[in-house]
Each structure stands twice: as structure tokens, then as C-alpha cells.
Amino acid sequence: MNNPLVQKFDSAPFSKITTAHFLPAIQHAITLAKEEVAAIVSNTTAPSFENTIEALDYSGELLDRVTSIFFNLNSAETNEEIQKIAQEASPILSEFSNDIVLNPELFKRVKQVYEQKQELDLSIEQHTLLDKRYKSFSRNGANLSDTDKGTLRKIDKELSQLGLQFGENILAETNAFELLLTDPADLAGLPEGAKEAAKALAQSKDKKGWLITLDYPSYIPFMTYADNRSLRKQLAIAFGAKGFQNNALDNQKIVIKITTLRYQRSKLLGYASHADYVLEERMAGTPQQVFSFLNEILEKAKPAATEEFKRLSAFAKELDGIDQLQKWDGTYYSEKLKQKLFQLDDEQLKPYFQLENVIDGVFTIATKLYGLHFTATDKVDTYNEEVKTYNVTDKDGNFIALFYADFHPRPGKRNGAWMTSYKSQMIKNGKNIRPHVSIVCNFTKPTPSKPSLLTFNEVTTLFHEFGHALHGMLANTTYSGLSGTSVYWDFVELPSQILENWCYEEEALQLFAKHYETGATLPMELIQKIKDSATFQQGMATLRQLSFGLLDMSWHASDPSKTTDVKTHEKNAFSGTSLYPDVAENCMSTSFSHIFQGGYSSGYYSYKWAEVLDADAFAYFKAQGIFNTEVATKFKKHVLSKGGTEHPMVLYKRFRGQEPKPDALLKRAGLI
């Protein structure tokens, strides 16, 4: 085939790909993968770990590569054509996946190997792969009757399409909203950089004035600094109404349909709920354990959150006579109170966080901790001219990974930040195949007069995603199915969240926090203020995170089929965590992409779970020194390089010497 995606390639051949190549490439890769599976099934030799389990892990390599390229483009560089292909490809891929896990002959071979695992001389990693592979069949219907298998296929096909539709609706609603301001008075309070960005955005669309959108780099500064309360209200309501406007892009029925289908699927497979099904493969284990975990932290955080909210309400009343604090007031008055208490705001800090310097900083920290070196290269194909590429090597010059970074918002790119992989690490035929890893973010763009200057929140986001990237880059396992971030979901956030801690440390900040005009290092008093303000409103922030986890569990830990009103369901879920009055026009569930499109269903609690791990792990670094190579080497050896080769608690204890305790998190947050 004259198709760059099915010819041999190392790095993704972006410049040679047209959208017309994707569907034929996916179909061709599926055909190849089916042939590889057929060869395993028709093997007349008795099933063994090598000819069945290992062969299965090595199969479908081209399909993995093509789909990783395609679905990242659907998130980072999409258009109507790509979205249409995604709608066509998703059910085909779902069908193929079911063809594998519902193949009785293949399962028979896998089961034979699984049943004799005690007699086999397997390594720990091989044992883990065998368990994972067997469960991928049993947990996906291999033991079902033919009729039930047919039902499962139908459900999976529908779920894949509904998830895509959910995401497309949110992207369309985000892109559809524009707030064009023509009166300079409406910009009162906004920093110069935000005004300049709004003006540049308006000009890019041939409009006069200042354009505010629902993209984070536009939305967040406006909600944080704009003095005009009615405009903040207008913007906040638009942001919270995505997928909840009873129009063609409404997600209410999709939410109920997705959760009902997930519940039906779990019952079909013998589980009490979707959460029971998901959590079997998580550190938490059961819905009861998740509720217990969330409620334990809620109990400790709620008094602090309530007190913080009272203080914020009193401050807003004193400052502007606000009788009732609303959701569109929260960020604005929090920032004002923070400035009053700490004389610190993002505008003071931003000049010290030029994007290029922060990138150099995170690279330097990776060098100090793990001996990695990053060299920019223009020899790697990219999907957009804004994407930067780097060769990653170790201290001896050995190639470790290829790293892509895509930092700014643009049309066709969804909000948020994420890490993805274009090529998995594995050891095959004695060769260690190294990974290709990417991070995608939506940071403030450069303006005609200023480079890209990051808010402190954007700095921690960059460190967070880079932590995921390190997990991918430093992977060193035999099998791609256990490599890098292929771990339990409530463990996957540990490498990302722990790296954020370095953003608060003087020793780390001095490496990269330099004024973009003068080159002066971030003053010590500002560093101290960052540390002092780190616990500011942590009770409220904790309550917010817990509310998302509880909302997720409310949809997935019981039967949702009797739910007729998404908003009522949501209000009930939020009843124990609400501080602000409800906004009738808004609904979180209809734009909660993490759980309805992004794979976090029954797993949103894992952010908090991983915070317990990261606070406990960083306490170890702090005790020994944040650049202590002995501790860093242990973290690399037992966590970053090991992927999913063993149970995460075993790996964690090997690194830390003990199980994690929530006390480190509660102490760091100032809650105890």
C-alpha cells in the first residue's frame, strides 16, 4: 500500500500523512493483527507462555502505533474530517478488540497456560503479564455464552461511539462561545498580558476589540482578575453550561446512556456495578474502600473548607459589599485575598516563568535526578510547527527516548493537558526498543511584546505532565503491555504529582525561575511567599477534588438506569461538599470529560489517592535532600522503570520501605 502509516517507520511520519490514509491504515493494521492472532490459535504446539502469552503481547504493534497517532491528532489537531473518521474507526476498533477477547480458541490456549502457571518457571514480570492477559479475557466476556457475548459487543460498540460524541459536543460548545468586548472599561482588572492576548485573538478572527473564549488561557485570567462581575457571571455560566443547553450538542441523554450501558455491561460480566468492575484492577480494590478513603479526607478537610469559605465571604462583603458569594466570585476574591495575605499574585510571578526557561528547568531537574540529557532536534516530523522535539540520552550518551512537546491552544485542540505515547518501550529479540513520548498542554501564547509567560499553575501543570513523560521515557520492561504508564490508574498519577513538589523548592526554582527581561533569579521573599501560600484555601481545594470523586462514584457505584434528571442526581452527589449556591443553568456531569470520555470512570478519586502517595514519597526526598541521587535512583529503579510489572504497593514499599500514610498529605495541605 502506498500509505506512509503502513510502511516501516520509526518516528511518526506526520508530514506524509493525509486524513485519507487513516482508515485504510487502521483496517490494514487490523488485518495484520488478526493474522498474528490466527497464527497463535492455529499453532499445533501445546500452548506455552512464549507461543501464546508473549506472542499475544507482541501482536498488533502496527495497530497500536497507527491508532496512537490518530487519536492524539483527534485531541490535539482535529477537524471535522478527523472527527468523522474517529466515529467510523471507533466501532471497528471496538469490534476488533472484542474479536480478540471473545475468541474461544484463543482463550482456550490462554486458559491452558494460566491453569498451569504454578508449574511454569516464570519471572515476576511474566507472571504479571499472564495474570493481566487472562483477566483481559475473563473480565471482557470470554466466559460468557454466545448470546451474552453478542450483547457485550453491541454495548462496547455503542459506548465507544457515545464517548466520542460526548467529547465532540464539548469541543463544539467550547469553540462556539465567544465574548467580544469593545469597551476598554470591561477589561478593568485584567493584567496587560491577558488584554494583549485577547486583542491578538480578536485580530486573528478579523474582529475589533478583545475576544474572551472558554479556552483555559483566556477563561482563567478573566475569571481571576476581571472586575466586571456581570461579565464574570456570563462567562462562568457559559463555561458550566457546556453540554447542558437542550440543543443539538446536549450531553444529558448521553451521560445517562453511557452510565446505564456501563452498568449493564458490569452486570453481564458478574459484577455488582461498573465501579466494582473497574476497581478490581485498582489499588483501592472496592467502591467501599474508595468511599471510605474519600470520606476520611472529607471529614478532615470540611471544617477547614467551611472556615475558609466564611473568611472569603466576609472578605468579599467587606471589599465590595457582596452579600452572597457566587461561583463566579470565588477565583476573583480568592486571588484578591491571597494578594492581601501574601502580597503575591500570578502577575508578579509570571515574568520569572518564561516557558523556555521552565522547559530548561524541568530538563535540568531530570538531569540532576536521573542523569537524562535533552537535545532539541528539527529532524523529527511533527503534526504542527509549534510542536518541539528532543532526543533524550543518558549520561553515557545512550538513546533513551524521543520526546515531543506541544504547548499552546489553537482551534482543533481540546482543553487541558495530557501525556501520550507514539511508540512503546519493550525488549524484543534481545533489543531494547525505546519509547516515543509526548506531552500536550494549553499554555498562554507569546504576544507581540512578550514571550510565553506562565502562571504558577501552568508551571506545576508542565511539571505534572513531564512527570508522566518520565514514567514513559524511563520504562525498562520486557513487554509493552506492562511498560511505562501501563499501571493501575490510582498509581499512574504518582510520577506526575510527585514532580510538582519541586516547583515549591528554592533549590529547584533557582535553576529556572529567572526574569525574562533582566535575567534576575526569583527573589527569595517570593519563593517564601509561594511556599507560604501553598496551603492557602487547601480545605476548599480538597473539597472540590473530593466532590468530583464522589460525583464519579455516584454515577458508577450503583444502578443509574432509574436516573431521569442529570442535574438532580448531581446536586445529590454534591450535597456533602457544596459551599457555593447552585447555578441552575450549569451542570458538571455534561462536560466531565475525564469520566465520560477520558478513561477515568470510577477512577477520579485516584488523583487524591496518588496525592497521598506523592506527599509520602516526597517526604522521603525532603528528608534526604530533593536532589539526593540515592533516593532518586530508588524511585527510578522501583517505580519509574518498572511500569506495571508488579503490584504497585509492592513497588512503592520497595522504594519507600513502608506503606504510605495520609498524614503527609494532610500535613502538607495544612489540614493537620
User: Active-site residue numbers?
Assistant: 465
Output phi, psi for 299, to 5 deg: -60, -35
Q: Are strands 436-440 and 399-406 parallel, antiparallel or unpaired?
A: parallel
Q: Are strands 388-393 and 373-376 parallel, antiparallel or unpaired?
A: antiparallel
Which CA distances in Å does 212 have to 30, 180, 231, 652, 654? Answer: 44, 6, 10, 44, 49
Three-class secondary structure of residue 420 per DSSP: strand
Given a contact cutoff of 8 angstroms between Cβ atoms, the answer to whether 177 and 215 are in contact is no
Output phi, psi for 343, to 5 deg: 45, 50
> Computed over its alpha carbons, how large is the radius of gyration of the chain?
25
Instruction: Measure the CA–CA gap between 110 and 5, rounded to whole angstroms.
Output: 31
* Residue 398 CB contacts under 8 Å (≥ 6 apart), including other chains: none
Query: Would you tell me the crossing angle of helices 80-101 and 146-176 to the nearest 10 degrees?
Result: 160
Place of cell 466532590: 547
Instruction: Measure the CA–CA gap between 496 and 55, rounded to whole angstroms.
Output: 32
Of 494, 520, 522, residue with least CA distance to 509 = 522
Instruction: Measure the CA–CA gap between 513 and 432, rounded to whole angstroms.
Output: 36
Query: Strands of 399-406's sheet, edge to edge?
Result: 373-376, 388-393, 399-406, 436-440, 418-423
Given a contact cutoff of 8 angstroms between Cβ atoms, the answer to whether 671 and 542 are in contact is yes
DSSP string, 316-335: HHHHH--SS--HHHHHHHHH
- Cell numbers linked to 423: 511508540
What b-and-e string marks burial along 103-140, b requiring 16 or more CB atoms within 10 Å of the CB? beebbebbbebbeeeeeeebeebbbbbbebbbebbbbb
Given a contact cutoff of 8 angstroms between Cβ atoms, the answer to whether 81 and 19 are in contact is yes
